[in-house]
Structure 1
Amino acid sequence: MKNYGEQLKNGLRKYKRIIAAFIIVFISVVVELAANIQALRGGYDSLDISQNISIIEEGDKEKYRIEFKVKEGVYVQQIQLHGNFPKDVVYRVKTKEVNGFGKKEDGVYKDTVGPYFSEYSTNLGKKITWLRITMEKTEGMELTGITCSSSFEWNKYRMFFVIIVLGLFYCIFFEKKFLKRIEWYFAVFALTFGLLLIALAQPMCNSWDEQIHFKSAYILASGRTIQWTEAAQKIVDRTNFRCNTKAEFAQLRKYMDNKGKVIVREENRKSLLISYQYLAYLPMALFLGIGKLLKLPFSMLFAFGKVGNLVLYVFVMFWAIHLAKSKKLFLAFIAMMPTPLFQASSYTYDAVVFSFLTLGCVLWYREMLRGDGNCDFRMVIAAALLFVFGSFSKAIYIPIVLLLLLLPLFHKITKKQKLFLITGICLIFFAVMLTFTVPLISNILAGNYNYGGDSRGGDTSAVRQMISMLKHPWESVKLLIGNMISLDNFRNLGVPESANYFFGNLMLLSLGSMGTLGDKWCVVLLPVLTLLLLYEEPQEQKDCIHSLWRKIFIWGVFAVVILLIWLAMYLSFTPVGEMKIAGVQARYYLPLLYLGSLLVESIKMRVQISQVVVPKLTCISACILQAMAIWELAFMDRLVG
């Protein structure tokens, strides 16, 4: 009997991955069945209530009204409106609902129809006894039918989501190698969740200024002649209908695929040379180019371009985590947070800026830890290149390259070599900074007072703003300092919904226009961040920034970068002469987080916990926060009811 037990145990160990895969798939199927429990109990494909459509008059306007009653109550998963809708119109839904305890409650909802499709839908997911829909009747509008449905349907997005979450938890508890080599867990985590984010985003803009970044990548992927399809133009103009149900997204993909076959205009590029500012778009452009060669439908092409950004992010951050000699778990946790991964799964250069600068800081700190004056020049050159390429798209981060002046190698080289290296580092710094300042100065001298404004409009101009600052130097200093130490503007006031969130959530738990996780999730975020900052990891290299002047220098670099962030936002995105700075977002501080964690290395307080517990806690917390961000912001009220 004992031998049989041992054989069984050995068999389970041998086939544990196959067993785990079977269990995970089984649970995902059970979840789908549970989500469709009402359809299994008594579902129906279509309940036509079109006969209840009437037209009423309110003042000088005509309105459609649909009223439906059923004494026993009926479960309505979704409402569908059919017809011709020449322009966007909001319709309102009022209901009498029966909750799980049998009590009746009032429900109020609103949704939108528009000129894109002939059918629109609203997820309800309630048992109702009464329903009323009202909608203004505009010129040319014709509401031809209304149906309710509660049919069984497999939701592949939800199944993929459940499989990913359960698979990652399996890796945490049953694959010890992932905890010992956290960079591999990160790679699996980022690729799976990243691909899910790309699938959930659909062919529409969700990230910050995504239409601008897509345009740049699309141009690079087009060769000499740029053929703008109608679908690509709609993305650039950010005019797509905001869908909120799975059925509408299916129609949107079909709509964009059809528009992707129509060429609306062509333009020729003056040169095939790529400006340094656009190098960050190359991975996205490469995948877009491959997608074009494969003649992918536009919805797939749009998603495929994002995969290039995701693959580069995972590759760079994998090596950053792998090579980190200090704060490895902190770095992995940050890399797995919703906002950095969302940026990597969208059209943006922010993922390149964050990952390149972070890897550069990792390589710089490795060289700092040598301490004996020896140096791996390949690593130093790689760090310098990463700082430069990471700053090409946002020159405000280039002061970080000055950290190279602190390398221990300066203690062992001759004065001539030292002068040569210092001169080279400073030249790199000034060369990149000139890309930021020279256009501004030259346009001031040329009298081009409208240069450097926000491309989205408004009374903005970097030239006029700079002239205003030069005329009022004391007010400008007070403005910068006052806004930098004010957490209100740090939360990006000016966008009302952003003022309600803690800036840590905006920095790490935001999915752009999809929304931000609420402040309650600070209960998970802040304790884990604090723990990882103070936790002394096994084999962690000790603090090498021990001298006072080094600390002052690094804090100075840190402060200059922050100052440039605020200055850049005031010059380019704030109306001229305003007494506040608009546009500063918490995510701009992401490239500074790892450097900031190194600056607290000298704190005497340390947390020592089991070497197994902290990696598990790190992975579990990251998985919970990422899963909740996707579920609450990308799933609910969009792809599930």
Structure 2
Amino acid sequence: MIEAIKKHKRIVAAVVILILTAAIELVCNFPAIRGGYDNLDLTKYITVEKEGNKEKYVISYSSPQKFYVKELKLSGSFPKEYSYTIKTKEYNSFDKESEEYYSDTVNSWFSDFYTNLNKKVTSIEITLNKVEDAELTAVSCSNRFEINKYRILFFWALFSLIYCLFFEKKVYKKIECFFAIYAFIFGLLLVVYGQPIKNSWDESIHFGNAYTMAFGKHVEWTEAALFVKNGQIVSCNTKEEFAELRAYLNGKGIETVYAESKEMILPSYTKLAYIPQAIFIRLGMILNLSFSTMYAVGKLGNLLLYIFVMFLAIHMAQTKKMFLSFLAVTPTALYLASSYTYDTVVFSFLILACVLWANMIFYPEREYSSWTYILTVLLFVIGCASKAVYIPMILLFLVIPYVEKKKPKKKVILWSGIIIILMLVMLTFVLPTLSNAAAGNITFGGDSRGGDTGVVRQIVSMIKHPWASVKLMLVSVFKFDNFRNLGYDTADNFFFGNLMCLNFAHNGILSDKWSAILLPICIILLLYKTPSETVRGRHSMSMLNKFIVLIAVAGTIFLVWLALYLDFTPVGAEYIAGVQARYYLPLLYLGALLFTGRKVTINWSEETITKLTYSAATLLGFALMYQGMLQGRII
């Protein structure tokens, strides 16, 4: 029997996964199984009441018996988006009574509006302002049995990954392959759950840049593309409303309503990171896909590039491979990879460059061609193209053995080349500021979204107050609690590790208690030595190398804070706005390299460390996905 199971373990696993997924779906539908009803029509309870000079719709219904409300539905036509309130008398699992209030919205795009309640109640009262041209035509509630495809997909993916991790031993031989499988499944779920709305940081702006690049000289904007680019999407919080949103945008994504001509067909170097997204958007257009599908396909371009580059990085890494593998599947990294952004190219290209650099440092006796050196420099340059603040990392090349082995003349040439690249990239954002300052244009730069910001005026303010500026920089960097996530306290007041690694932007962050998993696994992986780190011929990092790494990291951190102070902070403010913990992600692998050659190490088997690493990643990632992408949105 046992031998038969082992022989057909994949078939057995598939059956078990299907049974578990079906069981969970039945449990989630238990209220409907026990006392379900398709539709309770409350339309006849609609009344119009006057409150001063205004009118409002009031729907009040009560029952002597407790009944379960899974979903409320309002139907009608409304001239704009505005909210309504729901008051319930409900009972918890101990039958304790309480009065609760909820709010939701109606809008001009849809005709039906849904609210997931999932409560046992005896009364419901809905209040909705009756503005001009608004008409509420029907109200109902339901507790029907319903299979949720999003929830099924979630648990099927979760159980499948758990099976692969614990029962497929090939995983331990090629950790980069398991990374690719995990990242693709997790990222694909994020793309599907994301819907055609703004989820990630400044995603509407990034989509606009990628969409523009998808065209040649002339850009054709549909109404749907403009809605997404300008962040004018109505609020949705149920799967039915998201279905209506997709249908609405698909209808608005057919005809061109606005056209513009680009000055240059070729993208500027600062926008190279959008190329994969633009290619896949264009592919969606060629295949005549609907707008919502094309929007999702564009994200796939970003995800596939990320998986490819990080696969190479993990495969090539000889030092801190498992730490790098965990870093690559942290929820924030995969969330960015499944969104419209340039951060994915910045992160993955810089990480791959650091891996190649580390190999040259720790294994100098191996043969490295000139092309390896050139490729590594190129990866750094491309990674810094969209965010020049990371360019100090290129100083790492001053100490690689490849340069040290050259004759003095060639050594000077190579060093000079590195310094020239550094200066050229720095000039790309320094020169415009200096030229505008010289021309007397003190309004140059600043936050395009408004506010009392300006790069030139901020520099003048810093020059006038040098000591205050130095103090502000030092205090801000070492304070570790000045990270801005979305710009309001409830989204920003988290442990910086969670803000960095367990963050889904507008879709939420795992609370600080989850750092009890994040911190120990990071410490274990920093102390863990892979077999490749114990081979003969491996060199340790010299004090000079460590000093250069510290200078590169410190210089990058300083530029990040300085750039955000100049661009996004009101002139003369005693704080720095806009710095986000995720900006530190590209520096983590480089920092981990400092934890080599130490006396305290962990020498567990690769099987044990792999299971531990990806168990932690799966727990953190799927907990955040369920909390942020499913709960309160599509289930």
Q: What does 1:139-538 correspond to in 2, within 5 Å?
A: 139-372=132-365, 374-490=367-483, 494-538=487-531
Q: Which residue in the other structure is 2:601 paired with? A: 606
For 1:373 and 1:478, locate their aligned partners in 2 and report how far apart those are by CA, in whole Å: 45
Query: Match for 1:84: what amino acid?
Result: S
Whether contact under 8 Å (2:485, 2:505) holds in the other structure is no
Whether contact under 8 Å (2:279, 2:301) holds in the other structure is yes
Q: Which residue in the other structure is 2:615 paired with? A: 620
Whether contact under 8 Å (2:491, 2:508) holds in the other structure is no
Q: String of CA shifts for 1:493-522, please: whole Å, max 9, x gaps.
A: 942123321111010011111111111111
Whether contact under 8 Å (1:28, 1:162) holds in the other structure is yes
For 2:34 and 2:471, locate their aligned partners in 1 and report how far apart those are by CA, in whole Å: 66
For 1:492 and 1:482, locate their aligned partners in 2 and report how far apart those are by CA, in whole Å: 19
Q: String of CA shifts for 1:584-612, please: whole Å, max 9, x gaps.
A: 00000000000010012243321233432
Q: String of CA shifts for 1:528-585, please: whole Å, max 9, x gaps.
A: 1111111122232587454322222211111000000001101111111111110000
Which of residues 555, 558, 562 is equivalent to 1:563?
A: 558
Q: Structure 1: any 5+ residue segments left out of the alignment? A: 1-7
Q: Which moved more, 1:629-638 or 1:444-453?
A: 444-453
Q: What does 1:42-191 correspond to in 2, within 5 Å?
A: 42-191=35-184
Q: String of CA shifts for 1:18-60, please: whole Å, max 9, x gaps.
A: 2212221232222222222222233222211011111223344
Q: TM-score, normalised by structure 2?
A: 0.97
Query: Match for 1:474: what amino acid?
Result: W
Partner SS, residue 605 of structure 1: coil
For 2:544 and 2:363, locate their aligned partners in 1 and report how far apart those are by CA, in whole Å: 19
State the shift of 1:85 in Å.
1.5
Q: Which residue in the other structure is 2:578 paired with? A: 583
CA distance 1:331–1:238, shift in 2 (3 Å): same
Q: Which residue in the other structure is 1:17 paired with? A: 10
State the shift of 1:168 in Å.
0.5
Whether contact under 8 Å (2:77, 2:136) holds in the other structure is yes
Q: String of CA shifts for 1:163-192, please: whole Å, max 9, x gaps.
A: 110010001110011123211111111101
State the shift of 1:374 in Å.
5.0
State the shift of 1:161 in Å.
0.7
State the shift of 1:14 in Å.
2.9
Whether contact under 8 Å (2:486, 2:506) holds in the other structure is no
Q: Which moved more, 1:537-546 or 1:310-319?
A: 537-546
State the shift of 1:274 in Å.
1.6
Query: Match for 1:274: what amino acid?
Result: P
For 1:214 and 1:381, locate their aligned partners in 2 and report how far apart those are by CA, in whole Å: 31
Q: String of CA shifts for 1:205-250, please: whole Å, max 9, x gaps.
A: 1110111111110011011211111000011110101210011000
For 1:593 and 1:112, locate their aligned partners in 2 and report how far apart those are by CA, in whole Å: 42
Partner SS, residue 93 of structure 1: strand
Partner SS, residue 583 of structure 1: coil
For 1:101 and 1:469, locate their aligned partners in 2 and report how far apart those are by CA, in whole Å: 61
CA distance 1:467–1:214, shift in 2 (3 Å): same
Whether contact under 8 Å (2:486, 2:505) holds in the other structure is no
Q: Structure 2: any 5+ residue segments left out of the alignment? A: none
Partner SS, residue 248 of structure 2: helix
State the shift of 1:428 in Å.
1.5
For 1:546 and 1:36, locate their aligned partners in 2 and report how far apart those are by CA, in whole Å: 58
Whether contact under 8 Å (1:491, 1:501) holds in the other structure is no
For 1:45 and 1:86, locate their aligned partners in 2 and report how far apart those are by CA, in whole Å: 30
Whether contact under 8 Å (2:485, 2:499) holds in the other structure is no
For 1:45 and 1:228, locate their aligned partners in 2 and report how far apart those are by CA, in whole Å: 42
Whether contact under 8 Å (1:207, 1:511) holds in the other structure is yes
Query: Match for 1:279: what amino acid?
Result: L
Whether contact under 8 Å (1:374, 1:409) holds in the other structure is no
For 1:218 and 1:106, locate their aligned partners in 2 and report how far apart those are by CA, in whole Å: 47
Query: Match for 2:590: what amino acid?
Result: L
For 1:108 and 1:230, locate their aligned partners in 2 and report how far apart those are by CA, in whole Å: 36
Whether contact under 8 Å (2:70, 2:117) holds in the other structure is yes
Aligned residue pairs, count: 633
For 1:164 and 1:374, locate their aligned partners in 2 and report how far apart those are by CA, in whole Å: 42
State the shift of 1:118 in Å.
1.3
State the shift of 1:104 in Å.
2.7
Query: Match for 1:81: what amino acid?
Result: L
Whether contact under 8 Å (2:196, 2:246) holds in the other structure is yes
State the shift of 1:628 in Å.
0.4
Q: Which residue in the other structure is 2:591 paired with? A: 596
CA distance 1:545–1:581, shift in 2 (3 Å): farther
Whether contact under 8 Å (2:90, 2:120) holds in the other structure is yes
Q: What does 1:549-560 correspond to in 2, within 5 Å?
A: 549-560=544-555
For 2:425 and 2:10, locate their aligned partners in 1 and report how far apart those are by CA, in whole Å: 50
Q: Which residue in the other structure is 1:3 paired with? A: none
Whether contact under 8 Å (2:483, 2:492) holds in the other structure is no
Whether contact under 8 Å (1:85, 1:141) holds in the other structure is yes
Partner SS, residue 612 of structure 1: helix
For 2:486 and 2:159, locate their aligned partners in 1 and report how far apart those are by CA, in whole Å: 38
State the shift of 1:453 in Å.
1.7
The CA RMSD measured in Å over matched residues stands at 1.6
For 1:398 and 1:632, locate their aligned partners in 2 and report how far apart those are by CA, in whole Å: 36
Whether contact under 8 Å (2:277, 2:340) holds in the other structure is yes
For 1:56 and 1:291, locate their aligned partners in 2 and report how far apart those are by CA, in whole Å: 50
